[in-house]
Amino acid sequence: MKQHLVVALVLALAPAVAFAGAPAPKKEGIEGKAYVWNAQEGEKIEALHKKGDVKAGQEAYEICGACHLPSGAGRPDGTFPQLAGQHTTVVIKQMADIRAGLRDNPTMYPFAQTLTDAQELADVAAYIEKLCIPVDHGKYEGADAAMQIAKGKELYQKQCLECHGKNGEGNKEKFFPVIAGQHYKYLLRQMTEIRDGHRRNANPDMVKVIKPYTNDQLVAISAYQSSLTMPGSMCKAGPAKKK
């Protein structure tokens, strides 16, 4: 606990600090023959078969909270995604992929490496999944928001709803992420990277769907997705502010 707490405090006080160490490995991604999108092997499959301990996960999450915030809310500017309420399967896959060099995230890699083993990975994922999804998050703020959301809804219902669900709830068994409560700018960046072939661990089915989308269409879909909420999973509203 002390080790995690010290590192988290250092990060909170000096966000620009960089961890020295070996660079992230880099394995072939979605276009490479050596990679299967969701191969059930290695550390990932080991973590998926372990029962996560929420209390232990809260302790291990301390280092994550420096960037993703203790609430798991991330940053509205999209630099760090909202994590709270995310499926354990998704958290484990993405963390394991970063650790194994299947997803490029040089900022995240040093922190992902602080998790000691598959059990701690399962613990952190269990804790994150239990967090309520913050109501306040980064949304599309253009003057044409209503139009963009309406256009995005139409596109979403045609090709995204089947996997990500009516309310952005995703699918835990199929490793489809929760997108309700996610920041608009993060969603837009990730979909752009997937479309342009820069997200090497992306689901190939999603790559096919998103490949033809224009920048304007991605803006609209992201605007709509960031407006989604999951009934029963959102954080309760806080007390009214005194005037």
What pLDDT does 37 receive? Answer: 85
CA distance 110 to 84: 21
Least reliable range by pLDDT among 12-21, 35-44, 113-122, 209-218: 12-21
pLDDT at residue 17, rounded to an integer = 38
To the nearest whole percent, how much of the chain has pLDDT over 90? Answer: 75
pLDDT digits (tens, 9 = 90+) for 13-70: 333 334 445 666 777 655 554 467 888 888 999 999 999 999 999 999 999 999 999 9
Q: Which residues contact 131 (CB under 8 A, 6 or more apart)?
A: 71, 72, 83, 84, 85
Please answer whether residues 124 and 60 qualify as being in contact, where contact means their C-beta atoms are separated by less than 8 angstroms.
yes
Contact 116, 124 (CB under 8 A): no
Q: Kindly report the pTM of this predicted structure.
A: 0.87
Residue ranges of the chain that CATH labels 1.10.760.10: 2-15+27-130, 145-225
Stretch among 10-14, 57-61, 118-122, 189-193 having the lowest mean pLDDT: 10-14
Domain 2-15+27-130, CATH: 1.10.760.10
* List of residues 6+ apart from 31 with CB closer than 8 A: 197, 200
Of residues 32 and 119, more confidence is placed in 119
The CATH code for residues 145-225 is 1.10.760.10
Contacts with 25 (C-beta within 8 Å, 6 or more apart), sequence order: 100, 101
* 25 within 8 A of 101, measured Cβ to Cβ: yes
